[in-house]
C-alpha cells in the first residue's frame, strides 16, 4: 500500500476535498448523512464564516492511492483563550479511515499548535460551541440530526492512542413527541401558566433582528458559566440569524417574560438532515426542488432544539424549570399538529444536572453521547 500524503488546504478546491473526505470514511455507514456542499463551503471558507475573524485556522486532508482518507483542522481561537485561558489550541473536523491516518493527522495538528506556543490541545471543536462539538462515542445506530456530528466507533481508541483523554461528555436526548407528557410535568407547566408575572409569546418575525438580539442576550447570560462556552460576536450573530431565519417559525420559537422582562427562550428547528439524506450533498440540478418541496409541504417530521436558555436568577428555581417545560410543551403540541413524531434536545453537558432533570421529567432519554478530548502539549 502506498504512503499517506497529507496536504494543507489553501483554496476552495481543497475545501471541497476536505468536505468530501466523509464520502470515503462513511461509505459503509447507513446512518451517515452527507451534508450539503454549499452549506459546508460557507462554514469553512474564511470569507464566509465570521469565526475566522477571531481565530487562526489550518486545514489538512490525507490522501492514499488516490482516495481521500482523512482530514483535520487546527485552530487558535482568541475568544476561547480569553474565556478559558491562554495557550489553548483546538482541533476539529477529525475524520479518518484507519488508525495510521488518524495518528498522522493528529500529529500534524498538534505540531501546528505547538509551533505557535500552545500548551493544551482540545477537541474536536468544529469550529465552536455554535457548530459541531465533539465526536460521537455512543449512539451510532441512528443518523445525526442537523448541526450535530457523527463518528466511528474506532475514534475513541484512536484519539486516546494519541494521548488525548476525556475533557467532557455531552448528551443528546430524544423525545417521542406523540407520547403525552407525564402528569408531574403537566402540573409543573401549570405553575408557570398560572403565574401572573410570567407570560410566554412566540417570536415576532416582523422584528426578527430585535428578537435575535433579545435571544442572544439571554443566551450569553444563561450559558456564560457552561464549560467550553465562548460568546458570539455581533458578526456571528448576524451571520447565524441570516442562516436560521428560513427555518425559524413562531409556532416553535418562544420567549418567556417575567414582569415584561425577557428571561427565557427556546428555538426549535426542523431536522434538515432527515430531508436531505437522499440528496448526496448536492442541491443541483434537482436537489434544490426536492428540498424546497419537503420544507414547504407543512410536515415537520423530525425536530431539534439546538438552543435554549434561562437567565441565571431562575436557573435553580422551580419557576425556571416550569418556563422551560412550558416552552417545550407548547412547541411539542404545535409540531405534532404538523406531523412531527421525533424530537432531539441537545447537546447537554453531562454535569448540567438542572437541564437533565427537566428533560427526564418530560420523558426524554439520552440516545447519543459526544466527547471532547484534551492533552497537554509543547
DSSP 68-97: EEEEEEEEEEHHHHHHH-TTEEEEEEEEES
CB within 8 Å of 175: residues ≥ 6 apart: 332, 342, 343, 344, 345, 359, 362, 363, 364, 365
Segments of 198-273 assigned E as strands: 198-202, 253-258, 261-270
Instruction: Please answer whether residues 231 and 50 qualify as being in contact, where contact means their C-beta atoms are separated by less than 8 angstroms.
Output: no
Of residues 280 and 32, more confidence is placed in 32
Q: Would you say the CATH fold of 175-370 matches that of 5-169? A: yes
The band of 1, judged by pLDDT with boundaries at 50, 70 and 90, is low
Instruction: Please answer whether residues 81 and 113 qualify as being in contact, where contact means their C-beta atoms are separated by less than 8 angstroms.
Output: no
Can you give the pLDDT at residue 247? Answer: 87
Average pLDDT over residues 195-202: 97
State yes or no: pLDDT of 289 exceeds 90. Answer: no
Cell of 342: 421525533
Question: Percent of the chain at pLDDT above 70?
Answer: 99
Q: Give residue limits of the domains in the chain.
A: 5-169, 175-370
Least-confidence region, from 104-113, 161-170, 273-282, 307-316: 273-282
Just give the CATH number of 175-370. 3.40.630.30
CB within 8 Å of 21: residues ≥ 6 apart: 61, 62, 68, 69, 70, 71, 95
Average pLDDT over residues 110-119: 98
List the beta bridge partners of residue 365. Answer: 174
Can you give the pLDDT at residue 244? Answer: 83
Just give the CATH number of 5-169. 3.40.630.30
Residue 219 burial (10 A CB sphere; 0-12, 13-18, 19+) = buried
Of residues 280 and 120, more confidence is placed in 120
Average pLDDT over residues 172-182: 94
Can you give the pLDDT at residue 298? Answer: 60
Average pLDDT over residues 121-134: 93
Q: What is the dihedral of CA 58, 61, 62, 64, to 10 degrees?
A: -150
Q: What is the pLDDT of residues 133-169, one digit of tens each?
A: 999 999 999 999 999 999 999 999 999 999 999 999 9
Give exposure, 125-164, as e/b (b: 16+ Cβ within 10 Å): bbbbbbbbbbbbbbbeeebbbbbbbbbbeebbebbeebeb
Question: Percent of the chain at pLDDT above 90?
Answer: 83
Can you give the pLDDT at residue 57? Answer: 98
Of residues 236 and 2, more confidence is placed in 236
Q: What is the pLDDT of residues 298-325, one digit of tens each?
A: 678 899 999 999 999 999 899 999 999 9
Assign 3-state DSSP to the chain and report helix, strand, coil percentages, each to 5.
Answer: 40, 30, 30
Q: In this structure, what DSSP letter does residue 317 have?
A: S
Write phi, then psi, for 19 (nearest 5 degrees).
Answer: -70, -40
Mean pLDDT over the full length of the chain: 94
Cell of 79: 475568544
State yes or no: pLDDT of 342 exceeds 90. Answer: yes
Q: How many CB atoms lie within 10 A of CB 43?
A: 18
CB within 8 Å of 317: residues ≥ 6 apart: none
State yes or no: pLDDT of 286 exceeds 80. Answer: no
Average pLDDT over residues 13-35: 97
Least-confidence region, from 1-5, 8-12, 50-54, 118-122: 1-5
Average pLDDT over residues 355-363: 94
Can you give the pLDDT at residue 130? Answer: 81
Can you give the pLDDT at residue 196? Answer: 95
Can you give the pLDDT at residue 129? Answer: 85
Can you give the pLDDT at residue 105? Answer: 98
State yes or no: pLDDT of 281 exceeds 90. Answer: no
Can you give the pLDDT at residue 246? Answer: 87
Cell of 316: 435553580
CB within 8 Å of 285: residues ≥ 6 apart: none
Nearest to 240 by CA among 76, 130, 126: 130
Instruction: Please answer whether residues 329 and 174 qualify as being in contact, where contact means their C-beta atoms are separated by less than 8 angstroms.
Output: no
The vertex-290 CA angle with 254 and 26, nearest 5°, equals 90
Can you give the pLDDT at residue 53? Answer: 97
Write phi, then psi, for 233 (nearest 5 degrees).
Answer: -85, 160
Amino acid at each position: 500500500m502506498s504512503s499517506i500524503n497529507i496536504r494543507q488546504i489553501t483554496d476552495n478546491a481543497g475545501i471541497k476535498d476536505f468536505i468530501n473526505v466523509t464520502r470515503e470514511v462513511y461509505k459503509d455507514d447507513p446512518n451517515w448523512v452527507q451534508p450539503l456542499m454549499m452549506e459546508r463551503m460557507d462554514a469553512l471558507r474564511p470569507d464566509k464564516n465570521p469565526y475566522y475573524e477571531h481565530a487562526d485556522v489550518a486545514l489538512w486532508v490525507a490522501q492514499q492511492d488516490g482516495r481521500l482518507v482523512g482530514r483535520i483542522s487546527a485552530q487558535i481561537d482568541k475568544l476561547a483563550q480569553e474565556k478559558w485561558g491562554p495557550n489553548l489550541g483546538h482541533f476539529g473536523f477529525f475524520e479518518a479511515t484507519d488508525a495510521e491516518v488518524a495518528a498522522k493527522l493528529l500529529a500534524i495538528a498538534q505540531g501546528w499548535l505547538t509551533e505557535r506556543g500552545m500548551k493544551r490541545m482540545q477537541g474536536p471543536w468544529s469550529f465552536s460551541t455554535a457548530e459541531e462539538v465533539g465526536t460521537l462515542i455512543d449512539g451510532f445506530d441512528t443518523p445525526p440530526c442537523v448541526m450535530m456530528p457523527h463518528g466511528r466507533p474506532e475514534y475513541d481508541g484512536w484519539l486516546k492512542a494519541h494521548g488525548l483523554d476525556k475533557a467532557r461528555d455531552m448528551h443528546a436526548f430524544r423525545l417521542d413527541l406523540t407520547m403525552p407528557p407525564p402528569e408531574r410535568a403537566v402540573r409543573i407547566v401549570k405553575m408557570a401558566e398560572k403565574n401572573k408575572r410570567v407570560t410566554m409569546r412566540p417570536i415576532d418575525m416582523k422584528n426578527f433582528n430585535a428578537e435575535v438580539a433579545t435571544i442572544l442576550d439571554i443566551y450569553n447570560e444563561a450559558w456564560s458559566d457552561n464549560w467550553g462556552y465562548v460568546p458570539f460576536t455581533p458578526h456571528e450573530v448576524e451571520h447565524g440569524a441570516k442562516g436560521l431565519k428560513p427555518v425559524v417559525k413562531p409556532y416553535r420559537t418562544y420567549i418567556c417574560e417575567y414582569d415584561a422582562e425577557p428571561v427565557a427562550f427556546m428555538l426549535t428547528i426542523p431536522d434538515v438532515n432527515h430531508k436531505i439524506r437522499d440528496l448526496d450533498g448536492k442541491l443541483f440540478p434537482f436537489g434544490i426542488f426536492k428540498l424546497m418541496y419537503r420544507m414547504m409541504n407543512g410536515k415537520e417530521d423530525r425536530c431539534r432544539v439546538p438552543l435554549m436558555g434561562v437567565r441565571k436568577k431562575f436557573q435553580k428555581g422551580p419557576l425556571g424549570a416550569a418556563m422551560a417545560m412550558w416552552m417545550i410543551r407548547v412547541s411539542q403540541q404545535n409540531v405534532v399538529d404538523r406531523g412531527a413524531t421525533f424530537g432531539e434536545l441537545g447537546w447537554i453537558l453531562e454535569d448540567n444536572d438542572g437541564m437533565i432533570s427537566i428533560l427526564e421529567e418530560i420523558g426524554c432519554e439520552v440516545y447519543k453521547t459526544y466527547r471532547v478530548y484534551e492533552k497537554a502539549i509543547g
